[in-house]
Amino acid sequence: MLYRVERGTVDDREYMSVALDHAKRGLGKVNPNPLVGAVIVRDGRIIATGHHDHFGGWHAERDALESAKRQGVSVRGATIYVTLEPCCHQGKQPPCTQALIDAGISRVVVGSADPNPLVAGKGIRQLRQAGIAVTEDVLRAECDAMNEIFLHYIVDRRPFVLLKYAMTLDGRIATASGASRWITGEPSRRRVHEDRNRFAAIMVGVGTVLADDPRLTCRIEHGHDPIRIICDGGMRTPLDSVVVTTARDTPTIIVTNPFDEHDEGVAERVGRYRDAGCEVLPVQTADDGHPSLPALMELLGARGIDSVMIEGGATLAWSALRSHVVDKIDAYIAPKLFGGESAPSPVGGEGVNTPDDCFHVTDPQVIRLGDDVLIEGGVSYV
Ligand code: AOF
Ligand code: ZN
What is the pTM (predicted TM-score) of this model?
0.93
Using pLDDT thresholds of 50, 70 and 90, give the confidence band for residue 93: confident
**Sheet of strand 37-42: strand arrangement:** 45-51, 37-42, 79-84, 107-112, 133-135
Q: Using an 8 Å Cβ cutoff, are 320 and 293 in contact? A: yes
Which uninterrupted H or E stretch holds 300? helix 293-302
Query: 135: CA distance to ligand 1 center in Å?
Result: 20
Q: Using an 8 Å Cβ cutoff, are 218 and 196 in contact? A: yes
Ligand with the closest atom to the CA of 91: 1
Query: 75: CA distance to ligand 1 center in Å?
Result: 22
Q: What is the reported pLDDT for 323?
A: 96
Work out which ligand 1 atom sits closest to the CA atom of 52.
Answer: 3
Query: 87: CA distance to ligand 1 center in Å?
Result: 6
DSSP secondary structure, 184-199, as one string: S-HHHHHHHHHHHHHS
Query: Average pLDDT, stretch 245-267?
Result: 95
Q: What is the reported pLDDT for 331?
A: 98
**Residue 2 vs residue 327, higher pLDDT:** 327
Using pLDDT thresholds of 50, 70 and 90, give the confidence band for residue 2: low
Using pLDDT thresholds of 50, 70 and 90, give the confidence band for residue 4: low
As a whole number of angstroms, the longest Cα–Cα distance in the chain is 74
**Is the pLDDT assigned to residue 180 strictly greater than 90?**
no
Work out which ligand 1 atom sits closest to the CA atom of 85.
Answer: 23
Annotated binding-site ranges for substrate: 180, 196, 216, 219, 311
| Pocket of ligand 1 from Cβ distances under 6 Å | 33-34, 36, 52, 59-60, 84, 87, 91-93, 96, 114, 116, 119, 154
Annotated binding-site ranges for NADP(+): 166, 182, 208, 212, 313-319
Query: 17: CA distance to ligand 1 center in Å?
Result: 20
Q: What is the reported pLDDT for 1?
A: 46
Q: Which domains does the chain have, with CATH numbers?
A: 12-149 (3.40.140.10), 158-380 (3.40.430.10)
Query: 7: CA distance to ligand 2 center in Å?
Result: 23
Q: What is the Cα–Cα distance from 140 to 142, expressed in whole angstroms?
A: 6
- Give the CA count within 13 Å in the CB-facing half-sphere of 32: 21
What Cα–Cα distance (Å) separates residue 85 from each residue in 116, 154, 209? 10, 14, 42
Number of Cβ within a 10 Å radius of residue 294: 15
- Residue having the nearest C-alpha atom to atom 13 of ligand 1: 87
Nearest one of 33, 315, 329, 325 to 200, comparing CA atoms: 33
Using pLDDT thresholds of 50, 70 and 90, give the confidence band for residue 382: confident
DSSP structural state of residue 17: H
Nearest one of 315, 304, 352, 168 to 232, comparing CA atoms: 315
Q: What is the reported pLDDT for 371?
A: 97
Work out which ligand 1 atom sits closest to the CA atom of 62.
Answer: 3
Residue type, 53: D
Catalytic residues: 61
Work out which ligand 1 atom sits closest to the CA atom of 82.
Answer: 23
Ligand with the closest atom to the CA of 36: 1
Q: What is the Cα–Cα distance from 129 to 316, expressed in whole angstroms?
A: 51
Q: What is the reported pLDDT for 130?
A: 95
Query: Average pLDDT, stretch 224-234?
Result: 97
- Residue having the nearest C-alpha atom to atom 14 of ligand 1: 33
- Residue having the nearest C-alpha atom to atom 17 of ligand 1: 116
Q: What is the reported pLDDT for 91?
A: 87
- In this prediction the ipTM stands at 0.89
Give yes or no for a cis peptide into 32 (omega within 30° of 0). Answer: yes
> Torsions phi, psi of 109, nearest 5?
-110, 125
Q: What angle do CA 61, 122, 102 make, to 5 degrees?
A: 45
Using pLDDT thresholds of 50, 70 and 90, give the confidence band for residue 232: very high
Ligand with the closest atom to the CA of 84: 1
> Torsions phi, psi of 265, nearest 5?
-60, -45
DSSP secondary structure, 94-130, as one string: --HHHHHHHHT--EEEEEE----TTTTTHHHHHHHHT
Nearest one of 159, 175, 155, 156 to 167, comparing CA atoms: 175
Query: Average pLDDT, stretch 195-207?
Result: 97
- Residue having the nearest C-alpha atom to atom 21 of ligand 1: 33
Annotated binding-site ranges for Zn(2+): 59, 87, 96
Best residue for ligand 1 mutational test, from 87, 97, 146, 156 (most atoms within 8 Å of Cβ): 87
